[in-house]
Chains A and B, each alone.
Chain A
Amino acid sequence: MFETLTGRLGEVLNRLTKRGALSEGDVNEALREVRLALLEADVALPVVKRFIDEVRSKAVGAEVLRSVTPGQMVIKVVQDHLVEMLGKAQAEIDLLAPAPVPIMLVGLQGSGKTTSCAKIARLLSERQKKKVLMASLDVARPAAQEQLRVLGEQAGVATLPVIAGQMPVDIAKRAIQAAKLQSFDVVLLDTAGRIHIDEALMAEALAVRDAVQPHETLLVADALTGQDAVRLAEQFHKRIGLTGIVLTRMDGDGRGGAALSMRAVTGQPIKLIGIGEKLDQMEPFHPDRIASRILGMGDVVSLVEKAAETLEKEAAEKLAAKMEKGTFDLEDLASQLRQMRKLGGMQGVLSLLPGVAKVKKQLADSGVADKQLARQEAIISSMTPWERRNPKLIHASRKQRIARGSGATVPEINRLLKQHRQMADMMKRVKKMGKAGLMPPQGFPPGLMPRR
């Protein structure tokens, strides 16, 4: 489904790219597809409308018409605006308050509060060396308190001993008291899942909030949430007052439109994202990374942009010069491999290319590709500079030496050399195409793009 949409979007944008100037009609046509892409990604409708209007006012006009490639400009405006709306600056958990700093987690049932609680506790205790106490206020779901206790053991974080039958507000007060006495830095309060329209449970959350005055109140929400995302974020924010959002299940194949919706209606930053079931799989949120995922359009243009950002300018220029001459040796391949890793490995690069969703999935499943990149780098490092510049001269005994040096096998070295030959061939083709002004074929490694 997404593939076809991506394809369609790609078509429209491609058409734009080939034109010299943009009319309002062109922009509107592209934005209709962008609107669909956003809706398919579960961005809430009011947010989509606002977004489209804002992009239209930016895109139609001199800014675009004056640019050399209008199609790219539209994509860039869309992308930039998406990043802007997602929050440009990276936000962190704020601990600037007298210890113990109370942090409260709220959210719907099954959004991943308890797991996130343990993950955040681990993050704070390991990276920031904070002494953290966790307490479960979930007296509704069977065995919820037990779950947090077990997770605490796994994460090496203290949990408040459970007193059967105690009510949430009392547990919260007891947690703060215990944290003061035992000089903890942070108290994480995991609350029961509640639906934002359940008055009784919302009142309970309010009572807890008033009792402990949390310094941070984080909404834990599922990245797979649909249109309901705006309503739930709005309600939680209005009733309890949020200071940030934690998005879970970002490792799913959902496109995470909920991120945009929730950020837009609450104005609160997304502080952390959960990217796996293990306790160390929680990361800071990078708006730019999710922007293209929400659009699902993985355009080559942004790949070029990203490559240009990450590549050292010199390396790029050197490469351009080599391309002019049509030479491409193993030194270049090694620098390619390094740059690829900077771009987030094979997966990162592939997610930027259109029409490779399947390949990407297979890669993710195997987990092989990125390891291979590192291995190939190791092989090249075991060569002498002379060998790197003259790969044709690497014969059997040299191969054996390289294999010993890099811990690889001779067949692996052969594969690498073959790959290099293929890439060198491709370079020649690109050089010809570059002169004809064509885009390179799909799946082409970054940095090899002809530069305009």
Chain B
Amino acid sequence: MSETEQTEEKVGWLRRLKQGLRRSTGAFSDGIASIFTKRRLDEAALAELEELLINADLGPAAAAEVVENFRRTRFGKEVTPEEVREALAGEIAALLAPVAVPLPFLPQAKPQVILVVGVNGTGKTTTIGKLAQNFRKQGKQVMLAAGDTFRAAAIEQLQIWGERVGAPVVAGAVGGDAAGLAFDALKRAKAEGCDILLVDTAGRLQNKAHLMAELEKIGRVLKKLDPQAPHATLLVLDATTGQNALSQVEAFLGVCKVTGLVMTKLDGTARGGILVALAKKYALPVHAIGVGEAAEDMQPFDPLAFARALTGAI
């Protein structure tokens, strides 16, 4: 990929993220403006600020902490809305900076196995399609494993993505054993010398023990062929999800050693503020965010851009 293309793309996604978030941050920014039109940062103002953060799905605990930091540094000062936005964005970006880590590529793995997990409807299959597209663009050999053998037409959905991006799809029968399929896919990917194997899984709610056990089995079976596999396990989170995301991360971490997060649907009015709470509690890398349905709408996670979009400081 050329330098200009990269910049262009960067502008492209930033614009998209801004567009998505701006529509949503309208209310947030207005809120800040109305609180801080040249006003002293007092208790009442801080309380309102906390509410605005809660409104962005940070959750009461994380919102309280961010505001607490804010109080320490700026209490009683005269501030403008812009200053508040910038400072708040800086505060949040600092919290998020350590988790903004791109998905590492392991050239020696051959293939690097990436298992994609999450609850139903978060966008796992779409995320795989987008990831495959990105890897293909970098000239990598990619294979997809249609491990969602439960949902009707999930296999077809992945096959369509496979055709779009030019990646072979290993699929079995509907209702088949996902672990067995993953095993076969890894075997084939090894034989064909693929760089990346993306394994799709059926969506499952984290409180369904038997479904979570199935996930554990997939990991176990993959290890028979490659003790390092899966090299990465991505948990896909929906940006519209609220505080339940904490419970999702905890449960999936317990079962299948999640190595990183992908947050989808950030093009809505949802702000994905839960990422702040997650960063504080679990410090898991956030590899990418999804800001639209097209393949190029999958982007690396940029904490400052995210935080600025969140607070309307753009």
Contact = CB atoms under 8 A, between A and B. Distances in A.
Contacts of A254: 242-244, 247
Interface string A240-260: 000000000101111101100
Interface in A134-168: 140-144, 146-151, 154
B269 A196 contact: yes
B243 A222 contact: no
Interface in A209-254: 222, 224-229, 231-232, 249, 251-254
Contacts of A251: 205, 207-208
Most B CB within 10 A of own CB, among A44, A108, A257, A364: A108
Given A110-B265, A142-B161, A252 B156 contact: no
B240 A226 contact: yes
A272 interface: no
Interface string B17-38: 0001001100000000000000
Contacts of A42: 242-244
A302 to B, nearest CB: 23
B60 A36 contact: yes
A45 interface: yes
Contacts of A257: 242
B55 A45 contact: yes
B246 interface: yes
B302 interface: no
A83 to B, nearest CB: 22
B268 A196 contact: yes
Contact of A41 (B153, B174, B243): B243
Contacts of B274: 226
Interface stretch (B1-9, B69-77, B115-123, B219-227): B115-123
Nearest to B293: A140
B153 A226 contact: no
A249 B268 contact: no
Given A36-B60, A147-B153, A226-B274, A253 B206 contact: yes
B59 interface: yes
A110 B151 contact: no
A266 interface: no
Nearest to B64: A36
Given A40-B59, A154-B152, A365-B209, A110 B123 contact: yes
A252 B157 contact: no
Given A108-B268, A253-B206, A143 B156 contact: yes
B241 interface: yes
Interface string B147-165: 0001111101101110000
A249 B120 contact: yes
A112 B121 contact: yes
B57 interface: yes
B268 A147 contact: no
A144 B56 CA distance: 31
B270 interface: yes
A253 B247 contact: yes
Nearest to A144: B153
B121 A111 contact: yes
Nearest to B63: A39
Contacts of A111: 121
B216 interface: no
Nearest to A118: B152
Interface string B190-226: 0000000000000001111110000000000000000
B191 to A, nearest CB: 28
A39 B161 contact: no
Interface in A187-220: 195-197
Most A CB within 10 A of own CB, among B56, B161, B244, B271: B244
Given A40-B59, A151-B152, A226 B243 contact: yes
B206 A226 contact: no
Contacts of A305: none
A144 B125 CA distance: 13
Contacts of B79: none
A136 B122 CA distance: 20
A409 interface: no
Given A110-B238, A111-B121, A226-B274, A197 B57 contact: no
Contacts of B54: 39, 45, 227
A398 interface: no
B242 A225 contact: yes
A53 interface: no
B238 A45 contact: no
Given A42-B242, A42-B244, A142-B157, A110 B268 contact: no
A227 B56 contact: yes
B150 A277 contact: yes
Nearest to A195: B268
B267 interface: yes
Contacts of B122: 110
A277 B152 CA distance: 11
Interface in A354-386: 361, 364-365
A151 B151 CA distance: 9
Contacts of B174: 150
Contacts of B160: 142-143
A253 B210 CA distance: 15
A109 interface: yes
Interface string A296-311: 0000000000000000
Nearest to A39: B60
Contacts of B205: 249, 251-253
B91 interface: no
Contacts of B209: 365
A150 B156 CA distance: 12
A1 interface: yes
Given A110-B265, A277-B120, A224 B244 contact: yes
B184 interface: no
Nearest to B267: A195
5 contacts: A110-B123, A195-B267, A225-B241, A251-B205, A254-B244
Interface of A: 1, 36, 39-42, 44-45, 108-112, 140-144, 146-151, 154, 195-197, 222, 224-229, 231-232, 249, 251-255, 257-258, 277, 361, 364-365
Given A143-B159, A254-B244, 13 more contacts: A42-B244, A45-B54, A149-B153, A197-B20, A197-B23, A222-B238, A224-B238, A224-B242, A225-B242, A226-B244, A227-B54, A228-B57, A253-B244
A-B residue pairs, 10 tightest by C-beta: A226-B242, A110-B121, A42-B242, A147-B153, A150-B152, A143-B156, A142-B160, A365-B209, A254-B244, A228-B270
